[in-house]
Amino acid sequence: MTKRLERLLLAGLLAGATAASHADVSITRGATAIPDGEALASEDLTIANERLAFSLAVESAPPWGVPRGTLVDLAAVKDGKIDLDRIAFADFIPNNWSAWPNDGKEVEIVEDSPERAVVRIRRNWGEAWVTTTYTLEAGSDRIDLATELENAGDTPLSGIRSGHTLWPDTGFLFGVPGLGDAKETVADAALTDRMVAYDRDWAFALHAPYFDRINYDGQDMYLEHDLAPGESRTFNGSLQVVPQGDLAPVVAFAAERHGEPVGQITGTLRNVGGEAPQDGLVMIEKAGHPYAWTLAEEGRFEMSLPAGEYRAYATAQGHANSEPVALTVTEGGEQTLDFAGLAGPGTLRLDVRDASTGAPRDARLVILEGQQPPVEFLGKQTFFTELAPAGQAQLALAPGVYRLSVDAGAGFTAEQQELSVTLASGETVQETVEIERLAEPNNDAWYGADLHHHANVLEGTTPPETVVRAQLATDLDLTFISDHDSTANHERFQALSGQRGVPFIPSIEVSASWGHMNPFPIDIAGEMQVDPGTDSVQAILADARRLNAEVIPLNHPFNDYGYLRNLANDSVPGGFATGFDLLELNAEVDNVPTRQTAHNFWDAGRRIYFTAGTDTHDAWNDLTGRIRMMAKVPGELTPRAFARALKDGHGYATQGPLLHPRNGLFGDDLRLPEGEAFTWKVDVTAVDGLKEARLIGSGGEVLETVALDGREARLALTLDEAVEGWVALEVDDQDGETAWSNPLWVTRETTTLYTSALED
C-alpha cells in the first residue's frame, strides 16, 4: 500500500468511519475533512492524529486579510470522528493586528511519518520574515508552535508586540487567570501563562510561556520587544485540544511544562435529591481569582493541581454554588471533597411595559448582584426579552437574592430601572417592570442605528436572533449587521427584523489587514468579488459600489488595522484613494484622531461626515448601541433613506444626549451676509441630565461653552460676524457621555451678492 493511499484511508476514517484504537499522524493535501472547515483549496494541508486535526490555509484566504499560510481550522477527534471546526484563526501575529504587507511564502513538509508531522511555513512581513514550525506527534493532544521572527531589513523594529493568538468562532473565553476581565493589559498579575476557548464539549488552550501582555481578553498573547536589523527571536507555544469543556488536562500540561510538583483532588457532587446535577463542575480559585474547573461526570470528579493554596466550590447549571472550601495541595498529596445538597433553580418571569401606554417594551436584563454562572455554558448573566411575545422574558436562575438592571433604551430615551427579587428552588416569581419614556426623537423624524455590529461569523459569537433582540432592547430604530467579509446572515436578519416591522440595513465589514470598511446598505446576501488579503483599496471600493452601497465608511480609521493609520505607514495596497463617505466614531477605540481628521476635512471644505457603531461581537458581554448614529429622515424610514441622510451630513453620533436643531440642520448650508451674526437654536435632551454644550468651529476651536442642568434645554448659540466655514456641536451629559454633530456649513456673502441671490 502506498503512503498516499494510507493517508487517504486515514482521512476517511477520521471523517466518519469506525476508528482503530490508535491512529498514526497524517498529512493530507486538498480540501479539509474537518467539518465546517475553511481550508478548502487544493494546496491546503490538514494534519491529524487520533486526538485532534488542524488545517493550514496554504491557498485558501484566511480571515481579516491575514496572509495565506495560516492555521484556520482546529477540531478535536472524538471516537474516531473529527468534530466541528471551532476556530477562525490560531497562529502568529508579528505586531498586534497591524497591516501585514506580504508578497512571499514558502511551505515545507519537514517530516511526514506515522510518529510525527512537521510543517514549516515562511512568510514575509514587510522586510521581516515570520517562520512558523507546526509539530504534531502521535498520541499528543497539542500542536507545538515555534515561530522565528527575523528582521531582514535595515530599520530597527521598536516596541512591537508579537505572539501567538487563538480566536474561536464559537463558544466562550476564559482569559489568563489573575488578569480578570481586562481586554488589554500587562501580565504582571498573571497566575499562569495560558488562556482557553471552550464550550460544554470542547476546550482549546493556548500556552504561551514567552508572553508579557495580552490583548482582546487574552486571545492575543504577546511579548513587547525590539528587533534590530539582522536580529531574530523565537516564540514557542502550544495549542492544546481537549474533547470536552474540562480544564483538568490544561492544568496538568501547564504543570508539566513548568516542572511543578502536583497533588490530586477527587470527590463527588450531589443535589438536594442526592442525584448528580446536570453540568456539574468544581471551580478552583487561586489568589481570589478563577483558576480552572473540572467536570463532574455522573457526579464524580478528579483533578491534579500544582502544589499551593486554593479555594474550591461546586456548582451546576441553575444550581446554587456550594460553600467554598480551602485547599492546601501538596506534592503527591490526595484529598477527597464531597459536595452535597446543591439547590436547583427557580424561575423569574418578567413583563416589561411602557409606563404610559402599557405597550410591551424590549429590554436588556443584567444580573448586578446575585449568583452569576462562573462558566458560561452554565448560563448567562445577561438576558433579552423575546421577539415574540414582545416584552417578556423567562429566566431560570440559581436560588438566591438578586438585583437586576432592566434597560429599555437606557441613557437615551429612558432611565435604567432596577428590580430586586428573591428566588427559591422550584419557585416561579412573576414581576412587571414599567419603563417611562423620557424622550421621543422619532416624533421629530430622528432615528438611530448601531452601524457596526457582528453576529456569529468568525470571532462573532452572537446568533442573529439575539443580535436583533439586543438592538431592539437599546431602542434602536433600524437593525444592522456587518459581519467580517460575509453576508451569510443577511436573509436571517431581514426575516427577524420583518417580524417586528423594523427596517434592516444590510452591510459587510470588508476586512483587509490595512483597513476595515462597512459599506451600506448593500444588496441582500451579495457576495464580494475581491480578496481583502491581496486586492488594492481601489478594487475594494469599486466592489462595494458594485454591491450598490450608498455610503462607504472608514471603520476605526486610526487603530492598528485602520486605513488612515496604515496609509500614513505606507502599508495600503493602492495607497491614497477617494470614495469614502463617512468616518467612524467607534465605541472600542480612542476617537480623538478621527474627530481631528474630520475637522481637518471640514476646514478644507470636504464633506466627509460621521458614522458611529459599537463594534460589538458578543451582545451578552458588550452593550449594543452604547454609541449610535442618529439621522434626520423625513418621510418613510428605509435603509437607503437613512444612509442618504448620513451621506448628506444630516446626523450626529451620540453616547446618550439627543440633539434637535431648529434653524440649521447638520450638513446644510447657512448663507449669511458679511458682518451679520446669527443665533443657532438647538434643542438638547439627556435623560441622565445635561452638563455642558460646546460650539466648535474651524480648526476644532471651541467658540462657546454653555453650562447646562436638567434633562432638556434650548441652546441659543451665537455665530458672530467672524464665524465662517463650519460650526458643529458637542453636548455632554452628567455621566460624561457625549454627542458629536456633523457640521453646519457657514458661507459669508457680500451684501450685493446676497441681494442679487435673493432677487434671482
CA distances from 198 to 8, 254, 290, 341 (A): 30, 17, 15, 28
Judged against a pLDDT cut of 50, whether residue 752 lies above it is answered with: no
> pLDDT tens digits for 415-471?
999 999 999 999 999 999 999 999 999 999 999 999 999 999 999 999 999 999 999
How many Å apart are CA 739 and CA 653, to the nearest integer? 6
- Domain match, 267 and 338 both: yes
Q: If pLDDT is split at 50, 70 and 90, which confidence band does 749 have?
A: confident
pLDDT value for 514: 96
For residue 645, being part of any structural domain is answered with no
Q: If pLDDT is split at 50, 70 and 90, which confidence band does 196 have?
A: very high
For residue 61, being part of any structural domain is answered with yes
- Domain match, 577 and 615 both: yes
Which residue, of 313, 342, 371, is where some domain finishes?
342
The CATH code of the domain that includes 7 is 2.70.98
For residue 640, being part of any structural domain is answered with no
- Domain match, 726 and 662 both: yes
Q: Which residue stretches of 169-234 are H helix?
A: none
> pLDDT tens digits for 470-485?
999 999 999 999 999 9
Q: If pLDDT is split at 50, 70 and 90, which confidence band does 396 have?
A: very high
- Domain match, 362 and 388 both: yes
Q: If pLDDT is split at 50, 70 and 90, which confidence band does 102 have?
A: confident
Average pLDDT over the chain reads: 94
Locate 137 and state its grid cell.
Answer: 506527534
- Domain match, 406 and 305 both: no
Judged against a pLDDT cut of 70, whether residue 17 lies above it is answered with: no
Q: If pLDDT is split at 50, 70 and 90, which confidence band does 742 have?
A: very high
> pLDDT tens digits for 359-390?
999 999 999 999 999 999 999 999 999 999 99
pLDDT value for 195: 97
Query: Region 620-644: what's the mean pLDDT?
Result: 97
Calculate what percentage of the chain has a pLDDT beyond 70. 96
Judged against a pLDDT cut of 50, whether residue 2 lies above it is answered with: no
The CATH code of the domain that includes 453 is 3.20.20.140
Q: If pLDDT is split at 50, 70 and 90, which confidence band does 760 have?
A: very low
> pLDDT tens digits for 215-236?
999 999 999 999 999 999 999 9
CA distances from 426 to 396, 402, 647 (A): 10, 16, 55
For residue 125, being part of any structural domain is answered with yes
- Domain match, 156 and 183 both: yes
Judged against a pLDDT cut of 60, whether residue 325 lies above it is answered with: yes
Which residue, of 409, 438, 467, is where some domain finishes?
438
How many helices (DSSP H) and strands (DSSP E) are in the chain?
9, 53
Phi-psi region of 13 (alpha: psi -120 to 50; beta: other; left: phi over 0): alpha
Query: Region 321-334: what's the mean pLDDT?
Result: 96
Query: Region 28-46: what's the mean pLDDT?
Result: 97
Query: Region 571-586: what's the mean pLDDT?
Result: 96
Residues near 85 by beta carbon (within 8 Å), at least 6 away in sequence: 34, 35, 36, 37, 38, 55, 73, 74, 75, 169
Angle, alpha carbons 641-645-650 (nearest 5°): 155
Q: If pLDDT is split at 50, 70 and 90, which confidence band does 182 have?
A: confident
Pairing, β 609-613 against β 582-586? parallel
Domain count for the chain: 5
For residue 468, being part of any structural domain is answered with yes
Calculate what percentage of the chain has a pLDDT beyond 90. 94
For residue 15, being part of any structural domain is answered with yes
Which residue, of 295, 326, 342, is where some domain finishes?
342
**DSSP for 645-691, written as a single string:** HHHTT-EEEESS-EEEESSS-TT-EEEEETT--EEEEEEEE-TT-EE
For residue 355, being part of any structural domain is answered with yes
- Domain match, 350 and 424 both: yes
Judged against a pLDDT cut of 90, whether residue 354 lies above it is answered with: yes
How many Å apart are CA 85 and CA 170, to the nearest integer? 9
Domain that holds residue 668: 655-760
- Domain match, 337 and 351 both: no
- Domain match, 552 and 668 both: no
For residue 532, being part of any structural domain is answered with yes
pLDDT value for 22: 55
How many Å apart are CA 470 and CA 364, to the nearest integer? 7
- Domain match, 461 and 333 both: no
- Domain match, 279 and 419 both: no
Judged against a pLDDT cut of 50, whether residue 282 lies above it is answered with: yes
- Domain match, 55 and 171 both: yes
Query: Region 107-130: what's the mean pLDDT?
Result: 97
The C-alpha cell 460589538 sits at: 616
Comparing 3-17, 92-106, 498-512, which segment has the lowest mean pLDDT?
A: 3-17
Three-class HEC string of 67-111: CCCEEEEEEEEECCEECCCCEEECCEECECECCCCCCCEEEEEEE
Judged against a pLDDT cut of 90, whether residue 11 lies above it is answered with: no
Pairing, β 504-506 against β 479-481? parallel
The CATH code of the domain that includes 722 is 2.60.40.1930
